[in-house]
Structures are given as structure tokens and as C-alpha cells.
Amino acid sequence: MSASDVGDGVKRAGLLIVGSVALDSVETPVGKVERALGGAAVYSSVAASFFSPVRIVGVVGEDFPKEHLDFLGSRNIDTRGLQVVDGKTFHWSGSYEGDMNEAQTIATELNVFQDFKPELPDDYKASKFVFLANIDPSLQLQVLDQIEDAELVACDTMNFWIDNKKDELVEVLGRVDILFMNDAEARQITGEVNLTKAADKLRKMGPRYVIVKKGEHGALMYCDGNTCFAAASYPLEEIADPTGAGDSFAGGFMGYVANTGELSDGNLRKAVIYGSTMASFNCQDFSLNMLQRLTPEEVDRRYNEFKRLVFFEEF
Amino acid sequence: MSASDVGDGVKRAGLLIVGSVALDSVETPVGKVERALGGAAVYSSVAASFFSPVRIVGVVGEDFPKEHLDFLGSRNIDTRGLQVVDGKTFHWSGSYEGDMNEAQTIATELNVFQDFKPELPDDYKASKFVFLANIDPSLQLQVLDQIEDAELVACDTMNFWIDNKKDELVEVLGRVDILFMNDAEARQITGEVNLTKAADKLRKMGPRYVIVKKGEHGALMYCDGNTCFAAASYPLEEIADPTGAGDSFAGGFMGYVANTGELSDGNLRKAVIYGSTMASFNCQDFSLNMLQRLTPEEVDRRYNEFKRLVFFEEF
């Protein structure tokens, strides 16, 4: 099973993804975009769609360009769960400087997300694989309440919810199998500087697997109280825009797991590498531009380059 | 060839190491030591001695405890190049906080290093493998001038020399095969935020291989203008004292290369992992305490744990 094989293997029920759908304004040392397609659910759904059919849940306003809906639909992404309502689409604007490891938020306008109540189409409720992308944890819980018999549930979050909705977030953690979090957030929520200790505390809050994203420094997957896997990030000479890299990582990971349906240690390692692959491509252009023109063959090629990058002895 | 095999294989001429020999006072969140054995040449020599005979070049004062000389001698380290002169041994004191990724220097007393002129015993001059550990680049050049026919020369340095002796340092870079540098220093000397670009610039200054040490984030080895290898760092639940981790890394790497004598891509990858192995052990206790009680079998076990840590697909 690889990105080029999608459509050949056994089709699973697909991957349900809920999260923000946004129009982002982003400035980096390389350039800028205004009200471009973005949002955690969009980045992760498009990344996941390289591996698995996706069902997206979210909300947009009347200002959301039809071409974006068409693009998602063209990618094996079921958009019946994407409500279009009166008002303006969620808007985030931010900038990056220096090593671009951290975004400076300039403005966040919740807009239509303020009154959003996710309502899952009936056939979504039986989804076997669920990814709660970054969004208000209260909404993540509302989605979880509608899910009937999932095999695997994962979530992501951000510092804002740790600061402002910690109780709800802790409740989410108690109900998921996999947690994606960046290193700063893992330290923030646990109060542990040491990442191994932080991951241990996080696993005690619920998730069997904790995957810590470290940006240019790769990712660590923790299971059974020990690090089970350390992945490098793919080295890029030029980063255009890191927005959505973490979402693309989680989307690639979950898409691969959803389509293979296998939770073995070896398969989860491959999923991490596919996640790193999607994250690295995402950074090479603004908004969804790179994922939009990327081919499954390029995905598989970069996955294989990871072997050359990290293997010693056998490779 | 592994750490447990030292003494069995073909004995190479050994590894020459020049650098600081120090009595360090260090405080970390875990504890502190006063005037304990330290210095770049000591950490790297002891780490290298797990793989290869070592010849050390440096200077100490009359206050340098005899037990330290005895310890080095007991480890297959030839100390005839270690001058004992009137005056006090080089002293560094520093502290670490939080994630301990960066030392705060409290005091540096050059003492006997102020007037040091390295003079190599005649039989040292034919050393095939040379490591110029962190020290004034003028001294690194004086050692290079006495070396006759080395197969491989590597160097390390620190931000202080980039700030204060850049011309001499650049001359050193023009005469070495391998450069060890941490990520902040690589960015500082090149003015490039992107590490791939920084390494490319550094390689144009001389070294065929640039190895960027990233502390808890592992190391990257650059060759031919591209990253050829990314190594994770071994995850530790408790870091007692990171002093000397970079030196232990370089020592483990160079000791392994010196004893195998092979510069193939595959062998250099293994050397990086042995370097990471030695660096991780070094962080588990203060001063040389951990390297002092470490066994070759423990070194080989951790080397093998790296496979489990980073391999996907075949492992």
C-alpha cells in the first residue's frame, strides 16, 4: 500500500475529519497570500485524501469561494458535512519570521464558527476512523457524541485551547486513541520540560499513542511509556509557508492508517513517515498550492527518500 | 566492528585529539559539581577510547589531580602530549536551566592555556586520524602544521571563536575534512537560517562533510550539498548534565572511524550513531562520571536500540 495504490486496495468506510475551514492571510519571508484556502480540516483532509476517502465536517460562510468546494470534491473528499451558512468564513492572519518555527497570530475571526453546531450526516456516524483536527474542544466532543462505533479516534489541538478550554480538552484526551501535539504544547499542558515525561503524562490522560510534532526537528511517537519511534523531518532548502504542516502531518498519518486499517507498530511507523512526507510538501508553497499540484508518485518517491535519510546498516 | 570488539581488529595508528582540558564547575536543575574533570579534549578522548587508541594533546596546571591523569592513562589514552606546567588548569563554570539546550557561562579562566604552545611528540606527527576539538583556532592551526600525513582531519569549535577569531577559524575550515558544529553556530557563521543552506556554505569553505549537532533533536550529516543522514538523539527521561555531549559525540564518531579506517557513506552513518550513543550516555551524569563507569557492552546495546528507534519497514 502506497499513495499511488489508492483506489486499488479494499476500500474502508473512510476517514471522518472535523476541524476549522478557513480563509487565511499569511506573510512569511518568502511572500504572502490574502484570504487563501486554509484551516486544520482542509489541510488534513487534502493530505489524507492521498491515501483514503475523507468525510469532512465543518462550516463556511457565503463568502467561501465555490472553487474551493469544487477542489475538495475533486479529491475524494465528501463535503456533505460541510455546512454553508449566512455570515463570513473563519479567518486567521499570521506571520512567520526567522526559522519560521512559530507563527505570530495577527488576528483570529471566528465568524461562522461562533455558532457552529456540528451535525453529522447519518452515514458519517459509522465512520471507523475519526480525526478531530484543531478546533474548539467543545466541538470535538459534540462530534465524538455522534460517532457510533469508531475503531480509532485521534485529535490535535493548539495552545489557545490549553489556555482557554483546558477542562473540555482534557475530556477529549480521555476519549481518543491518538494525540497529535507539538512539543511546546506537550510541555505547556503537562508542565514537564522533558518530552518523554510529558508524553508519559499525556498517555495517562487517555491516548494510547502520543505523537509529538517538532517542526523542522521531526516527530516522536510514544507508546507504552517509551519512545517507540523517532522520525526526522525531510530537509528543505526553502520553506515558503509552514501553515498547515502539522495538519498535513496528521492527515497523511490518519489517511494511511484508515486505508490500511492496521494498527501494528510497523504500520504506525510508516504512517508517521507518510505524515512527515505530506508535511514537508505542504511547506514548499503557500496555502494548499503544493498539495493541490502534488502527485501520488511524488509522495511515494519522498517516502522512499526517508529510508536513505535515516537508515544505517540495512538500507 | 563494535565497541566490544576494540582490541581485536587491526590496530590503526590511533586518533590524535587536541583541545581543552579543564576543571569545570557546573550547575543544572539536577545538581552541581565543583572543579570536576572536563574539557573538550577529555570528553572526546574518553568517548573515542571506546573504539580506538587515542593520543591527547593539551595542557594542565599543577593543580590537575593525578587521579585524572591515571584515569586517562587507564583508557588507552596516550598522555605524553599532555603538558603539565606551572600555574592553574583551565577553568570553566556554567549553568543550565529549563530544557538545558544552552549553557550560561558564568566564568572562563584560560590560565595555563593562555601561553600554551602545542608541541607534538615525534610519533604523534604521523597520526592518520586527527580531531581538533574545541579550542582557540590558532592552536588548532599549530597542531595542523605539525601533522605530516593525516588521512582524515576533523574539527569542532564554539560561538566564542566565531565572534573573536573568525579569520583563524576560517583558515582551519579550509584545512579539514569534517566539521562538527552545533546548529546555532552553523547559522551564526554563515548568516543562513536554513540549515541545508548553512551546511552548503560551510562545505564551500573546506570540509567535505559537515555534521550539525542539534542536542536533543539529533544530528545531521551533510555531504555533496545534500543532507545524507539524519540521526535522532536517544531519548532520555533524565538529563543530569549536558556538558561535553557535543565533544562525546565527536569523540565517538572519530574513534569509530579511526578504528575502522573506512570512509564509506555506510560507515560514516554508523559513526554518527556511535557518536549519538556516546553523547546520550554522557548526559546521564555529571563530568566524566557516566563515561567512566560505562561498558562497551552497554554502548553496543544502545547502538542497537537506535535501530528500533528510527527504522521503519526493515528492522
> Any chain B CB within 8 A of the CB of A181?
no
Cβ neighbours of A201 (radius 10 Å): 14
Contact B197 A227 (CB under 8 A): no
Q: Give the E-state strand segments of B170-303 in sequence order.
A: 178-182, 209-213, 219-223, 226-231
Residues of A in contact with B193 (CB under 8 A): 98-99
Summarize pLDDT for B34-84 with one digit per residue, the tens.
999 999 999 999 999 999 999 999 999 999 999 999 999 999 999 999 999
Burial status of residue A48 (CB atoms within 10 A of its CB: 0-12, 13-18, 19 or more): buried
Which residues share a beta bridge with B105? B94
Q: Determine which of A96, A182, A192, A312 to mutate to test the interface with B (most B C-beta atoms within 10 Å).
A: A312
CA angle B233, B234, B236 (to 5 degrees): 120
**Any idea what DSSP says for residue A216?**
G
Q: What's the number of domains chain A is made of?
A: 1
Contact B273 A312 (CB under 8 A): yes
d(CA B185, CA B157) in angstroms, rounded, equals 9
Provide the residue range defining the domain that includes B145: 12-310
Query: Which residue type, as a one-letter code, is found at position B11?
Result: K
> d(Cα B24, Cα B108) in Å, to the nearest integer?
9
Inter-chain CB proximity B310 and A230 less than 8 Å: yes
Local confidence band at B6 (pLDDT 50, 70, 90 cut-offs): low
Of chain B residues 221-260, which have a CB less than 8 A from chain A?
226-232, 235-239
| pLDDT reported for residue B246 | 97
Interface test with chain B among A310, A314, A315, by most B beta carbons within 10 Å: A310
Q: What was the pLDDT predicted at B5?
A: 58
Contact A312 B270 (CB under 8 A): yes
The span from the CA of A196 to the CA of A138, in Å, is 28
Question: DSSP character for B12?
Answer: P
3-state secondary structure of A211: strand
In this prediction, residue A14 has a pLDDT band, given cuts at 50, 70 and 90, of confident
The Cα–Cα gap between A222 and A28 comes to 32
Q: Please list the alpha-helical segments (H only) found in chain A.
A: 40-48, 66-73, 137-146, 159-164, 166-173, 183-190, 195-204, 245-260, 265-282, 289-293, 296-310
Tell me, what DSSP letter sits at residue A64?
Answer: S
Contacts of residue A5, defined as CB under 8 A and 6 or more positions apart, other chains included, come to none
CA distances from A294 to A232, A234, A282, B140 (A): 21, 16, 9, 49
pLDDT for the residue numbered B3: 65
In a domain, A315, yes or no: no
Distance CA A178, CA A167 (A): 18
In a domain, B6, yes or no: no
Verify whether the Cβ–Cβ distance A195 to B214 is below 8 Å.
no
What residue of A is the nearest CA neighbor of B200?
A237
Residue of B nearest to A237 (CA): B196
Phi, psi dihedrals of residue B198, rounded to the nearest 5°: -60, -45
Q: For position A28, which CATH number holds? A: 3.40.1190.20
Give A48-96 pLDDT, tens digit per residue.
Answer: 999 999 999 999 999 999 999 999 999 999 999 999 999 999 999 999 9
Give pTM, 2 decimals.
Answer: 0.93
pLDDT tens for A82-136 read: 999 999 999 999 999 988 888 899 999 999 999 999 999 999 999 999 999 999 9
- The confidence score (pLDDT) of residue B314 equals 64
Share of chain B above pLDDT 70, in %: 95
8 Å CB contact of B238 and A99: no
SS3 A7: coil
pLDDT tens track for B90-139: 999 999 998 888 899 999 999 999 999 999 999 999 999 999 999 999 99
All residues of chain A having their beta carbon less than 8 Å from the beta carbon of residue B226 are 235
Kindly report the nearest CA distance between residue B66 and chain A, in angstroms: 37
**Mutation site, B313, B314, B315, interface A, largest A CB count within 10 A:** B313
Question: How confident is the model over B13-21, as a mean pLDDT?
Answer: 92
Mean residue pLDDT of chain B comes to: 93
CA distance B240 to B285: 5
With contacts defined as CB-CB under 8 Å, which chain A residues touch B195?
216, 235
Chain B residue numbers touching A230 (CB-CB < 8 A): 218, 232, 235, 309-310
Residue B5 lies in a domain: no
DSSP A99: T
Chain B 204-223, residues with CB within 8 Å of chain A CB atoms: 214, 216-218, 220
CA–CA separation, B255 and B52 (whole Å): 5
- Using the predicted structure, report yes or no on whether residue B315 has a pLDDT greater than 60: no
How far apart are alpha carbons A167 and A164 in whole angstroms?
9
Q: Do A220 and B235 touch (CB under 8 A)?
A: yes
Does A98 contact B193 at a Cβ distance shorter than 8 Å? yes
The helix/strand/coil state of A221 is strand
For the segment B131-186, what is each residue's pLDDT rounded down to a tens digit? 999 999 999 999 999 999 999 999 999 999 999 999 999 999 999 999 999 999 99
Mean of the per-residue pLDDT values of chain A: 93
pLDDT value, residue B270? 97
Q: Looking at residue A225, what is its pLDDT?
A: 60
Exposure letters A3-28 (e unless 16+ CB within 10 A, then b): beebeeeeebbbbbbbbbbbbbbbbb
Q: Angle at the Cα of A270 (from A266 to A276), degrees rounded to 5?
A: 145
* Per-residue pLDDT band at A295 (split at 50, 70, 90): very high
Compute the average pLDDT of residues A20-38. Answer: 97
Percentage of chain B modeled with pLDDT above 90? 89
Closest CA to B93 of B18, B32, B136: B32
Which residue in this structure is represented by grid cell 498550492?
A: A289
Residue of B nearest to A198 (CA): B237
| Per-residue cell: A89 | 468564513
Q: How far apart are the CA of B184 and the nearest CA of chain A, in angstroms? A: 11
Beta carbons of B217 and A220 less than 8 Å apart:
no
Using pLDDT thresholds of 50, 70 and 90, give the confidence band for residue B11: very low
Q: What is the pLDDT of residue A313?
A: 84
Residue the block writes with cell 488534513: A44
Answer whether residue A20 shows pLDDT above 50.
yes
On chain B, the residues whose CB falls within 8 A of the CB of A306 are: 312
Q: Examine the pLDDT at A311 and tell me if it is beyond 90.
A: yes
Q: Is A266 an 8 Å CB contact of chain B?
A: yes
- B189 in helix, strand or coil? helix
What's the whole-number mean pLDDT along residues B280-309? 97
Distance of residue B125 Cα from the nearest chain A Cα, in angstroms: 33
Quick one: pLDDT at residue A213? Answer: 97
Question: pLDDT at residue B9 above 50?
Answer: no
Q: What is the rounded average pLDDT of the residues B247-270?
A: 95
CB contact under 8 A, A229 and B270: no
Please tell me the distance in Å from B67's CA to the nearest CA on chain A. 35
Distance separating the N- and C-terminal Cα atoms of chain B: 20
Does residue B186 fall inside a structural domain?
yes
Secondary structure (3-state) at B273: helix
Is residue B227 situated within a structural domain? yes
Give the pLDDT confidence score for residue B98 in this predicted structure. Answer: 83
What letter does residue A65 receive in the DSSP assignment?
Answer: -
Q: What is the mean pLDDT of residues A163-189?
A: 97
Reported as a single tens digit per residue, the pLDDT across B213-247 is 999 999 999 998 677 899 999 999 999 999 999 99
Scanning the structure block, which residue is given the C-alpha cell 552497554? B298
Cell 519571508 -> residue: A29
Q: Please indicate whether, in this complex, the C-beta atoms of B218 and A217 are within 8 angstroms of each other.
A: yes
Does the distance separating the beta carbons of B229 and A194 come in below 8 Å? Answer: no
What is the Cα–Cα distance from B98 to A78, expressed in whole angstroms?
Answer: 46
